[in-house]
Amino acid sequence: MIKNDEIIKLIKYNYPIVNILDNYNTLEFSIDKKNLKSVIFFLKYEKKLNFIFLIDITAVHYPNKKNDLMTVYHLYSFLFKKRIRIKCYLSTKNPIIDSITSIFKSANWMERETYDFFGIIFKNHPCLKRILNVDDMVDFPMRKNFALEDSNRSDKEDHFFGR
């Protein structure tokens, strides 16, 4: 069984990683977006690590930060029964990051969903288009600046909502 400090040592030897945490036996770290694809490839194909299962890709919007978008990748090693979380920070001004569909085919729909809700553009994705929202939608509903209520509705009375 590989320990988290051994995983960190292996990754740090090859890539610059920051903000390393070990929460509930889930290793978590941040990397620069230019290294994302090579780090994911390394985690999957390095025999000492064997993170062969992509659990999820998602994002978070922090509107008050310089790099206000964060992509989050969750991987799992069946061999070692370990989870790992990789974070990359982006800006809404340039929300472009490499697609990992060439490494994990299952990333296809996860990246499309993340694009659909957060507006993150996955470079070299085979078919990056909306997956759940209508195609002509211009906003991204999981960003904090998305309006939660339709201002055109007239059937709501504010006093029912504590306003």
Instruction: Identify whether 18 is part of a domain.
Output: yes
Is residue 97 within 8 A of residue 123, CB to CB? The reply is yes
Using one digit for the tens of pLDDT, what is the confidence trace for 75-106?
Answer: 999 999 999 999 999 999 999 999 999 999 99
Distances (CA, A) of 16 to 32, 34, 129: 8, 11, 32
> What amino acid is encoded at 34 in this protein?
K
Which pLDDT tens digit goes with each residue over 106-159?
999 999 999 999 999 999 999 999 988 888 887 777 777 766 666 666 666 666
Per-residue pLDDT band for 163 (boundaries 50, 70, 90) equals low
Q: What DSSP string runs through 76-132?
A: EETTTTEEEEEEEEEBTTB-EEE--TTT-TTHHHHHHHHHHHH--EEET-TT---SS
Distances (CA, A) of 101 to 40, 57, 108: 11, 11, 6
What is the rounded distance in angstroms from the CA atom of residue 127 to the CA atom of residue 50?
Answer: 28
Picking from 63, 24, 30, the residue whose alpha carbon sits closest to that of residue 142 is: 63
- What pTM did the predictor assign? 0.87
Round to the nearest angstrom and report the end-to-end CA distance of the chain: 56
Q: Which domain holds residue 51?
A: 4-146
**What CATH number is given to the structural domain containing 53?**
3.30.460.80
User: What DSSP assignment string belongs to 14-69?
Assistant: HS-EEEEEEETTEEEEEE-GGGHHHHHHHHHH-TTT---EEEEEEEEE-TTSSS-E
Number of domains in the chain: 1
Of the two residues 65 and 125, the one the predictor is more confident about is 125
User: Any idea what DSSP says for residue 70?
Assistant: E
Q: Is residue 69 situated within a structural domain?
A: yes
